[in-house]
A and B are shown apart, each in its own frame.
Chain A
Amino acid sequence: MHIQLVKNEALNNASVPYIAEVSMGNDVTHLWRDYRIPVYYNKHKENGYSAEIAGFQVASETAERIPDLMKYLIENLTNVARLPNYAFVARRAQRVYPVYTIEDEVMVVTPNGPIFRHVELAKVRQYLTEYLHKTRILGKDGKSDKLHVRGIDPNTLGLRRPVFYLKKRDAADGDPFWAPVFENGAQDGVYAYAASSRRDVAKGVGPSVVWDLRNIVAHVLVTDKRLSDDNDLRADRIMPRYWQKLTESMTPTGKALVADALRLPIYEVNGKFIAVERRENENRNGIYVGDTLADLEARVAKDMIRRGHLSNAGALSVEAADASDEENIANDDLTLIEGIGPKIANLLAEKDILTFATLASNEPDAIKDILNQGGPAYNRHDPTSWPEQAALAAAGDWDMLNKLQEELVGGKYALA
């Protein structure tokens, strides 16, 4: 392994004065063996220079010390001649568990404890969660702290949030499947790991890109006999920041697919039809894509019947959308703000605070008043940082928001 610190000329950014160029050579079996890891500088901190690798942070008073610390960290992160593809993050417990892909399985290693290995990432997370509950690292079972999946960026080794998930229907007859999907480094496409390989679609941003990746992954899973029917896989939990990019190309059709409890507004992109499934209380949408309205309706009906949300295909019909269908989709997910959960988001929504921009325009005191009116379940929350966070979210500066949020919990994933 060779690490060289170079001045960050390209960005001319005082907060990222250096880039650590890491060359792994034959130390790992990865296709990608060269990384460019940003070195941050914060003049307010004692150990001002810092870098983050797979969620673990190294920090020092001097930039020159950073490469040695990085080398030590990378060596310890290397497992079976691999660097992790994912990490599970427990934010409250301040733990990071690197996840490795080995042939067709994923693996998590605990320090001096069990190894969790399975073909399904979902299973590995379930097993690790059980273990962490039993060892009291995650607190009691059912409490809010849980493991979030993050991708490891193939260029910077930084953590990446998924932009959406590919999910198999909740089946009693088989292992659960979900694969987090990440934007690629150039942000012109998405990728996911499925059936032991990285699956890429690099054709820009849009519902058809989402759907193309779904098609590819569904196909390999069917070939692998881990999915019995191509229709069993859906694109779900599309995260707000990515959703905003998707909606730029989507035109409302004024129609919706409607059954008893279901309302899926229909959009059009380049002659294809997209039905949007909205979740209760949180802005994480799922989509279906069809070549024609009838094709779309058939796909939605089939999946909804499988998932038990619909009794028969005849119950679903295309009707005129009402105004609330599309408005809901335009709202931001305020739970991305650290400190706001679904209940507070609902309380704010009652006061017409539905977007990051609106939240950012409110003074902390005004938000505090809303919380106080909400009663004892709300008034102990401190909204001081919410407008600042919302402003970053509204501007789409997710990297800065992530950094800010880490500092808010006092929560870096420190080394010692």
Chain B
Amino acid sequence: MKKFVAGRAPKVLQIAALFVVVSMFTTGTAFAQDGPTTQEIAFAIDNLTMFICAVLVLFMQAGFAMVEAGFNSSKNTINILFKNLIDVSLGAVLFFLVGYQIMYPGDFNGFFGFGGIGIPAQDALDPNYLPHYQVDFLFQVAFAATAATIVSGAVAGRMQFRAYLVYSAVLTGIIYPISGSWKWGGGFLHEMGFYDFAGSLIVHAVGGFAALAGALVLGPRIGRFNSDGTANAIPGHNITVAALGVFILLVGWFGFNPGSVLAMTGEANTILVMVTAVNTLLAAATGAVAATIISVFFMKKPDIGMALNGMLAGLVGITANADSVTNISALIIGLIAGILVVVGMIALEKLQIDDTVGAFPVHGICGVWGGIATALFGNFEPGIATLSVQLLGSAIYCVWAFGTMYTLFSVLKAIGWLRVDEEEEVAGLDVVEHGTLNYPEFVGAAVVEI
């Protein structure tokens, strides 16, 4: 996501080019005289593109919900669905009230600013600023909810619901917008030449490192690790649903990345959107293939959980650079992300950190990889996205998200709000926290509790 387009064809030229195309089209029709101007049509197309992309990114919430629910026990599904619902609903309210104008404060000191409550007013046709703030808010709020919802999978099965509400509010309302402003709001990282196209770091690494903080402070689910350090599987209850979730995320990512061009009109923009879309698919594909092969190496059989996470890893890795790398580079970026995610998941297991869905390897590790890959593979003007600035920016986002969230979760732990007790954990959060069961016909079955 970039609000400040640097080093591209000036908007005026783009619109002029469009004018030619559109006027050729409209001369054959009846409304040439009284119909919309070329500028209006360009405005409509850009906003329509943004609107469709925003809806696609919002639909990713469904993908996250399905992935997390499918990879977890049936006794915790309502809790997971609820958390995803809260991320987008509480997130929309808070991002509207404070988050949006913290993230885009206008002129500010580069570290923290606040432009005011709500969405700024904007004249319908500002040729220098497409798209309209209203649709831009829709797109941005979907990103904020994505960053928040990454955590819910990692902490599944043992966190109190009220703790999650606090976390979700703080992340979407404050933490994510502040660090977002450092780049996309035109803050100090933007000034330094840091580049993150659609948020490998700003969205995914922030969510991924917050997830790591949550998993660490919470501790593993009971029975996840043995006293000798070995791990036990706590199987997901529905891999069909998890796989559907990954496919939804794949589709949603075509809003996330191509939408981040923020424009469709103008030849350069149109081509850029399509290159971005192709790169997104290629990285997803090699991510899944690489994870499949690596899982055979480590686990003797192709592991569906690893392969699905491999696809997500490829998508996260390409998010920072989908607009600035070649198709071949996209293949390599996804491939390496697919390897990193499997190694990361195995490493977490060795370190006895219980991230139930692999949120940290997918979004944290591969988010950082995306930031670094931008420097390694991207095509930029001198001074933009150098390896040193990309490394520095990556470190800042990781430390920021991990530090603030580790503190928050520790405070919640200290006041006894963080974790449910052992008996509640065994019974499942659905019945303990929400008083109902998602699958009453199995969970109530006689043989289950013996």
Contacts and interface: CB of A to CB of B under 8 A. Distances in A.
The answer to whether A and B assemble together is: yes
Interface of A: 56, 72-73, 76-77, 95-97, 110-117, 126-127, 130-131, 134-136, 413, 415-416
Contacts of B165: none
B232 A135 contact: no
Nearest to A94: B450
B222 A116 contact: no
A127 B232 contact: yes
A172 to B, nearest CB: 13
A115 to B, nearest CB: 5
Contacts of B73: 112-113
B224 interface: yes
A97 B446 CA distance: 14
B349 to A, nearest CB: 13
B235 A415 contact: no
Contacts of A111: 448-450
B233 A135 contact: no
A135 B426 contact: yes
Contacts of B125: none
| Majority-rule SS of A interface residues | mixed
B74 interface: yes
A110 B232 CA distance: 11
Contacts of A134: 222-223, 422
Interface in B406-450: 422-423, 425-426, 428, 443, 445-450
A131 B446 contact: no
A22 B446 CA distance: 21
- State the 6 A-B residue pairs at the shortest beta-carbon distance, nearest first: A76-B447, A114-B223, A114-B232, A131-B223, A111-B448, A415-B446
A416 B446 contact: yes
A94 to B, nearest CB: 9
Contacts of A110: 223
Contacts of B446: 72, 76, 415-416
A135 B447 contact: no
A112 B75 contact: yes
Interface in B187-246: 221-224, 226-227, 230, 232-235, 237
Nearest to A107: B233
Contacts of B75: 112
Contacts of B233: 114-115, 117
Contacts of B445: 76
Contacts of B422: 134-136
Contacts of B227: 130
A130 B222 CA distance: 10
Nearest to A132: B223
State the main secondary structure of chain B at its contact with A.
Answer: loop
A112 B74 contact: yes
Contacts of B232: 114-117, 127, 131
B113 to A, nearest CB: 48
Contacts of B426: 113, 135
A400 B235 CA distance: 40
B366 to A, nearest CB: 27
A367 B219 CA distance: 52
Q: Give the residue among A97, A413, A415 with the most B Cβ atoms within 10 A.
A: A415
Contacts of B230: 127
A115 B75 CA distance: 15
B234 A415 contact: no
B444 to A, nearest CB: 10
A73 B443 CA distance: 15
Contact of B224 (A77, A95, A114): A114
A114 B236 CA distance: 10
Contacts of A131: 222-223, 232
A113 B222 CA distance: 8
Contacts of B234: 113-115
Given A114-B223, A114-B234, A117-B233, 20 more contacts: A56-B447, A72-B446, A95-B450, A97-B450, A110-B223, A112-B74, A113-B73, A115-B233, A115-B234, A116-B232, A126-B226, A127-B226, A127-B230, A127-B232, A130-B223, A131-B222, A134-B223, A135-B222, A135-B422, A135-B426
A96 B447 CA distance: 10
Contact of A112 (B423, B443, B447): B443
A136 B423 contact: yes
B227 to A, nearest CB: 6
B450 A96 contact: yes
Contacts of A77: 447
Contacts of B74: 112
Nearest to A175: B228
A364 B232 CA distance: 49
A344 to B, nearest CB: 30
Query: Which interface residue of B73, B224, B232, B426 has the most chain A CB atoms within 10 A?
Result: B232
B299 to A, nearest CB: 12
Nearest to A413: B450
Contacts of B237: 112
